[in-house]
């Protein structure tokens, strides 16, 4: 798949993102000013750092170690927005992340994943998304990014409400996970989650199923994060954002556009993985 895309596709997405911004609005930021007001580097032995002006958090990866950060606060329903510029050139084997995760026992943990899987030079990054509830995941969808995410910052967002989880790229939703708990489908709604980010080596699986290994001559690999905001999306305030129980037609158009043009894996279409039938939520509206 080509990394570039046509003017008509680009224009379509820009219009969708604009309309999404108009109908949803921009949440009030909880974290503002310096990025380390809201995020703290927690591992990497110096490989993670914040710029002197406090605007950019940088993670790096070399053959010895990667690095990572976490949010200072935890959340029970929230919207987070974070701008990321991914590692350039041959990033095969690397994974850059931004994800919610609970802090309890692993076997019952909740998690909402955005993982950016590096690739060989000239090939698109893959955005890997997944959700875990009570320790069980397996709800993967993957998309090729339709732009070069290494030349500039782009905004990636997770909107987690009582009704659904939305994944947005530059303001346009590309995936929705609905709350079907009333129909027996687990949904993360009881544990507080913290935001994490990391840059690490996963050459055994990340790029083309592990067939392409990390080229350490490219190290250190570097990813940058900036403009972190977090906003309350609890039931008492979520309605004010326009995040109702169902997405409107504009949001649905954005999701369809991403699925039709850039989705490269959907667990709901994997009959080899689920020979006895796909999970029940795949057939729910």
Contact 240, 232 (CB under 8 A): no
Which residue's entry shows tokens 């994060």? Answer: 225
Q: Which of 2, 103, 107, 115 is catalytic?
A: 115
Joined together, the tokens standing for residue 280 give: 């029940």
Contact 164, 176 (CB under 8 A): yes
How big is the CA angle at 107 (ends 185 and 278), to the nearest 5 degrees?
Answer: 35
Secondary structure class of 281 (helix, strand, coil): helix
| CB neighbour list of residue 132: distance below 8 Å, 6 or more residues apart | 109, 110, 111, 112, 113, 188
CA distance 256 to 217: 39
Joined together, the tokens standing for residue 247 give: 């997405």
103 is catalytic: no
Question: Over the Cα atoms of the chain, what is R_g?
Answer: 18
203 is catalytic: no
In 189-203, which positions are buried (b, 16+ CB within 10 angstroms) versus exposed (e)?
eebebebbbbbbbbb
Contact 108, 176 (CB under 8 A): no
Task: Compute how many other C-beta atoms are within 10 angstroms of the C-beta atom of residue 186.
Answer: 17
Q: Which of 2, 40, 103, 111 is catalytic?
A: 111
Please provide residue 45's backbone torsions phi and psi, each rounded to the nearest 5 degrees: 50, 55
Residue 105 CA to chain centroid, in angstroms?
Answer: 23
Task: Answer whether the bond into residue 211 is a cis peptide, omega within 30°.
Answer: no
Return the active site residues. Answer: 111, 115
């Amino acid at each position: 798949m080509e990394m570039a895309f046509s003017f008509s596709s680009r224009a379509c997405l820009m219009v969708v993102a604009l309309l999404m911004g108009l109908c949803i609005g921009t949440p009030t930021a909880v974290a503002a000013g310096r990025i380390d007001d809201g995020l703290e580097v927690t591992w990497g032995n110096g490989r993670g750092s914040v710029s002197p002006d406090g605007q950019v958090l940088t993670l790096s990866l070399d053959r010895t170690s990667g690095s990572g950060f976490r949010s200072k606060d935890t959340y029970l329903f929230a919207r987070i927005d974070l701008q990321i510029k991914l590692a350039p050139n041959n990033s095969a084997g690397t994974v850059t992340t931004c994800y919610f995760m609970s802090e309890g026992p692993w076997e019952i943990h909740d998690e909402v994943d955005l993982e950016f899987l590096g690739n060989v030079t000239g090939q698109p990054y893959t955005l890997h998304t997944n959700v875990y509830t009570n320790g069980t995941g397996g709800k993967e969808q993957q998309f090729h990014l339709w732009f070069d995410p290494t030349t500039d910052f782009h905004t990636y967002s997770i909107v987690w409400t009582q009704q659904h989880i939305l994944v947005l790229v530059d303001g346009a939703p590309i995936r929705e996970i609905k709350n079907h708990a009333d129909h027996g489908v687990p949904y993360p709604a009881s544990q507080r989650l913290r935001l994490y980010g990391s840059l690490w080596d996963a050459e055994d699986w990340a790029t083309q199923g592990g067939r392409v290994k990390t080229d350490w001559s490219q190290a250190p690999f570097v990813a940058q994060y900036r403009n972190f905001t977090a906003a309350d999306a609890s039931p008492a305030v979520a309605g004010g954002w326009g995040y109702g129980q169902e997405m409107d037609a504009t949001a649905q158009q954005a999701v369809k556009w991403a699925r039709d043009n850039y989705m490269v894996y959907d667990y709901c279409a994997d009959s080899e993985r689920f020979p006895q039938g796909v999970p029940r939520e795949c057939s729910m509206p």
